[in-house]
Structure 1
Amino acid sequence: MKKAKRAMIKIKDFDSMTVSQVMEKEVQFVPLKMKGHMIATLLIEGFGAVPVVEKGRKLVGIVSEHDLLAAVDDHHALSTVTAKDIMTPNPYSVRAETTLGTLVHILRASDLVRVPVVDAKNKLIGIIARRDVLRTYLATGGKREQ
């Protein structure tokens, strides 16, 4: 079903396409109180980072594999720390109307792999990864504005 959804995206100029056309809308996220060992289990399943939200899906942070390893290196048991304890607060995020051309610059400058997508009230509405951008670039025939 995901392939059908992606195939329905109207292929046009890569740079003018928006994040909303490419982002993943079903986002795995965690609450502030989730324990580190549970977050680690989620990340092992295939994500390098997971957004942290408070009520109303308001984005407040992100926990990455790096954050978990830092807790382990500091001799904290992952079963005793929470997302709030180890998250990176106020993470980079983008809005749905951000163009892919702009997003490429953001991803490159920040060295991020995945970026949460938020609405005007900072509510988590999606996530976009480097691979989503590259997949779309190839689907548009690799044409970019000069």
Structure 2
Amino acid sequence: MRTWSVGDVMTQAVVSVKEDASYREVVDVLVSHRFSAVPVVDPSLRVLGVVSEADLLRKIEYNGDEKPRMFEGRRRRGERSKAHGRTAAELMSAPAVVASADTPLTAAARLMDGEAVKRLPVVDEKGRLIGIVSRGDLLKVHLRPDDEIRADIEHAVLVPFLADDANAVVTEVTEGVVTLSGKVDRRSSAEIAVRLVRQVAGVVEVESRLRYDFDDREFRGPRQPFGADSPGPKPPFGPESSAGR
């Protein structure tokens, strides 16, 4: 099953600034392109950092507030120093939070959330800028046509993982919501199908109406510690083990 990555949705025509770009030049780039941040690169296009609107607003926030205050924390001191920055190198946040083109979309989303950033510069193996991915770009996967999603489910999930049961499963997709109906041999097969379909790019939710002939869950014994030194007897397996022997 194909996993969508940052390279599938990123913007390749990237606007960046050099490290010696002036404060006004950086402001002009952000305002004219309606960006919230811009990567800062060296002459080899290696990403050095990112200048955001928040970095630039330090000049307004600390305007007239020149002296550091007693017991001021490291973060506040850093913000105050940016208020006096004149070039992109002095204004940027570094190191930049970046992603590679093969980063899965789920990992990119978690990285953005964890680092509280709205976009990620995309770099190659040498750290050179090759694209940029935003929160909006990650949502592009949910613009895939329903027919395309259904084809992925049938060919990348049902046929490989359900084998003979695949022809007995009917897949319907409406605005990314998938409904699976029909009958499979085992309950575990139905559960696996639902779990894998949720991972298909563009799927919003899965509604399972799958029936099964055999509930193989009742033959799964309780989980026990694994290993030769595990205490206690081995768990029983199968219905015959419960009968007196």
Q: Give the TM-score normalised by the residue count of structure 1.
A: 0.81
Residue 48, structure 1, aligned to residue 53, structure 2: no
Residue 145 in structure 1 maps to residue 199 in structure 2: yes
Deviations along 1:118-140, whole A, 9 cap, x unmatched? 01110010000000111223426
> Does structure 2 conserve the Cα–Cα contact (< 8 Å) formed by 1:51 and 1:62?
yes
1:17 maps onto 2:4 in alignment: yes
1:61 equivalent in alignment to 2:66 = no
Give CA deviations for 1:12-39 in whole Å, capped at 9, x if unaligned: 86xx101111100010000000001111
- 1:110 CA drift (Å): 1.6
Q: Where do 1:31-46 residues align within 5 Å?
A: 31-45=18-32, 46=34
What is the Cα deviation at residue 107 of structure 1?
Answer: 1.6
Runs of 4+ in 1 over 2 A off after TM superposition: 71-76, 137-146
Give runs of aligned pairs for residues 118-133 of structure 1, distance below 5 A: 118-133=123-138
Counterpart check, 1:71 vs 2:59? yes
Q: CA deviation at 1:42?
A: 1.2
Equivalent position of 1:28 in the other structure? 15
Tell me, what secondary structure is at the counterpart of 1:52? Answer: strand
Distance 1:30 1:144, change over 3 A: farther
Q: Which runs of 5+ in 2 are unaligned?
A: 65-82, 150-175, 178-196, 201-245
Return the alpha-carbon distance in structure 2 between the equivalents of residues 115 and 19 of structure 1. 10
Secondary structure at the counterpart of residue 57 of structure 2: helix
Residue number in structure 2 paired with 1:4: none
Q: Residue 134 of structure 1: which of 122, 127, 139 is its match?
A: 139
SS in 1 for 2:10: coil
Displacement of 1:41 in angstroms is 1.2
- State how 1:75-114 maps to structure 2 within 5 Å: 75=63, 81-114=86-119
The structure-2 alpha-carbon separation of the partners of 1:144 and 1:92, relative to structure 1 and needing over 3 Å to count, comes to: farther
The 8 Å contact of residues 9 and 140 in structure 2, kept in 1 or not, is answered as no
- Structure 1 residue 104: Cα displacement: 1.5
CA-based RMSD of the aligned residues comes to: 2.4
TM-score computed with the length of structure 2 as normaliser: 0.50
Are the aligned partners of 1:35 and 1:83 in contact in 2 as well (CA < 8 Å)? yes
The answer to whether the 8 Å contact 2:16/2:41 transfers is yes
Separation in structure 2 between the aligned mates of residue 122 and residue 38 of structure 1, nearest angstrom: 24
| Counterpart residue identity of residue 48, structure 1 | S
